[in-house]
Structure 1
């Protein structure tokens, strides 16, 4: 019994053994936990593949919806509005009648002018036609009558001359017969000349005078007709009625087409606007990329998720500066068959200025800097446990969230877009493409 007591190990040895077992178990547990954390961290690291793609390049700008043409419709002369045929919101075609002005004071002048023209034309026709056959015959008969009267007067004179020489009549009777003969001769001459005029017809100057009278009458009638036509108010171009300023019975006056709504309220009849266009302000750094005909995609806050297509139709030759920011107005057409866009709406415009073909691209967030060089962390194809390799790269254009890689990478390689602890990127590489890149606010990829 005493021998068994002697073989029992000392208590300190047991304590040391227990402590060793606890320490060993803790180490094993710590190693397992650490290994699991490292594996979890590796699983959380995200990568992206270097791609070779065709990269669309767009220039973005803010703009507004504006009508291509906008006028205030008013009469050419002051007067009372008689009838209005359209209302606000109506779409009208070029030449369509919009309203009628009171024309009662012009109708009488029109009838009078018609009568004056008819009279002038009848006179011209008479002058051009010459004298009638009956008039000529009457003049011929007058000549024959006057010739017979002259023959009779000549015989009487000859008889009285003989009687005077024989002393049968006195000087007075002789002179009377002489005067009668001369008077008959003069009358014959007059009738012969009248016959010649009848046969010759009208003189050229009489015809020209009659023609001039017709022209004058036609001009007076055309003036009245134009004034009557001006009382019919027509649409100068196709568009939509945006405002009504007057009702039938109101007195309206001529106004300039570009008058403001306030000044036109008391004088114009309607405001007419044509099809809408988009007016965008493009930054000075991007204007060189905008060309006529460039496609544009328009989005309005009023219609989320919906876009409208258009094309550049005009580029301003003069810049505008607002709060020290220089920009150029760029006008674009817009396809809006349902007339959803309204004048004054704010829109965002993306101009498709071109495509970078067959370029290598990586997410911009993958770019980091180490030792003063820009590059990326590349996942190698060797052991998973190996740390990612930093590789310097040369970058090109930055289009929204993509950056073009000019050298340093190959298609198919994988780069980190989330970084291990302590290897967060210090800064992103700025774009070398003029007017594009972080902070430029000019371009987006679609």
Structure 2
């Protein structure tokens, strides 16, 4: 047995009553209040999805590609090696320079640490030994002088030898004494500064070689997807030549061209919605990120960038560079307006009217009010006419109404009950 939907039965009954009753009989209708709120006009513009960042990775040096770590479509992290050029020769140069740097650092450390205590003690022992020899040679010289000059019992040769040996011992002692004093004082500041300078020069050489090696490694400076490979393993890369292209897609820019008459009302930071043609009915929230202040001279349009956080399915971005979609942008100042559902507007001999529920002699009647239409706001539309906020306008059953016709407004509870049954 077929079940009749109560809502269908209600509508059929209303139509039957309308057809069988006179034109001026009471007509059942539905009505809603006139709303007053702030609205603004919006327009839809076609935009193109672009990566928020896009970079062509190039080689800073000439070399042969020996590694390529990713394929097109792969996700690449920032500073992760994408490709590697051959670096055998320069690596050997870098290793030799690094070894030389270690030597220079050791020399500097030796100077900064100063003379060891054992070395100082050794210098002191040599000085004391030289002093003892000096004292002995002095005594020997004094005796030779006495024997030669006063007693005349020794030869001039022995005398000269004793004097010379004493002078030599005196000089040896002075030399040992100064060596001991230098050992105590340690290296000169100038020597340490010279050693530091030699270390700095060698560090610069190592850094320059490391920098050159880094140039042989191709990296991306931001997270993104490898969207194009421009070479392969074994190919020769020229300095400045393209290696790969990376696009940042965790958020995208939808770029729409807006005519100059509408651009004054577009504001950076304003929230908008984007609908991409590949996903009809699916809304992607975003914000106006930039208004490019340079128009296309022929079209007189300005590019507007709407930044949209991307969404992912199976680790793949839903919004892809090159997709097209609609961007809804505000194109007028916000204003306070009266709004009614679009179903409340009736065409009457080329003009537009709404029927207002008004009191009559024997109940409620439909009063026709001519209106001028304004801005659309979803299912509502702005109306300009002799209306006030809170007035009830007929939304259903208004197609067959006549001005002044008696009406019966179905209670909201009855309407909701019928709709929910």
TM-score normalised according to structure 1 size: 0.67
Give the structure 1 partner of residue 416 of structure 2.
Answer: none
Q: Structure 1 residue aligned with 2:307, among 317, 323, 332?
A: 332
Tell me the CA shift for residue 283 of structure 1. Answer: 2.8
Of structures 1 and 2, the one with the larger relative CO (CA 8 A, separation 6+) is 2
| Aligned equivalents of 2:400, 2:80: Cα separation in 1 | 65
The 3 A distance-change label for structure 1 pair 93 and 157 is closer
What is the SS of the residue equivalent to 1:198? Answer: helix
The 3 A distance-change label for structure 1 pair 418 and 299 is farther
- Considering only aligned residues, what root-mean-square deviation do their CA atoms show, in Å? 4.0
Q: Does the CA-based 8 Å contact 1:49-1:362 persist in structure 2?
A: no
Q: Structure 2 residue aligned with 1:360, among 315, 340, 351?
A: 340
Residues 15-414 of structure 1: pairs in structure 2 closer than 5 A: 52-53=34-35, 58-162=42-146, 163-169=148-154, 173-255=158-240, 267-275=241-249, 276-303=252-279, 305-338=280-313, 339-351=317-329, 359-362=339-342, 366=346, 376=353, 392-398=370-376, 403-408=381-386, 411-413=392-394
Give a deviation string over 1:289-323, Cα, whole Å, max 9, x none: 433343333233344x3323122232315151454
| Aligned equivalents of 1:202, 1:321: Cα separation in 2 | 73
Shifted more, 278-287 versus 235-244: the winner is 278-287
Tell me the CA shift for residue 86 of structure 1. Answer: 0.6
Tell me the CA shift for residue 395 of structure 1. Answer: 4.4
Could you tell me which runs of 5 or more consecutive residues in structure 2 were left unpaired when the two chains were aligned: 1-18, 24-28, 361-365, 403-421
The 3 A distance-change label for structure 1 pair 131 and 378 is closer
Give a deviation string over 1:384-426, Cα, whole Å, max 9, x none: xxxx997543544356896422323553247977999xxxxxx
How many residue pairs were aligned? 358
Give the structure 2 partner of residue 442 of structure 1.
Answer: none
Q: Does the CA-based 8 Å contact 2:257-2:301 persist in structure 1?
A: no
Give a deviation string over 1:348-375, Cα, whole Å, max 9, x none: 22237879776235569845678xxx65
The 3 A distance-change label for structure 1 pair 377 and 128 is closer
Shifted more, 293-302 versus 239-248: the winner is 293-302
What is the SS of the residue equivalent to 1:393? Answer: strand
Shifted more, 83-92 versus 93-102: the winner is 93-102
Greater Cα radius of gyration, structure 1 or 2: 1
Could you tell me which runs of 5 or more consecutive residues in structure 1 were left unpaired when the two chains were aligned: 1-37, 256-266, 383-387, 421-446
TM-score normalised according to structure 2 size: 0.70
Name whichever structure is richer in strand by fraction. Answer: 2
| Aligned equivalents of 1:205, 1:174: Cα separation in 2 | 46
Q: Does the CA-based 8 Å contact 1:88-1:241 persist in structure 2?
A: yes
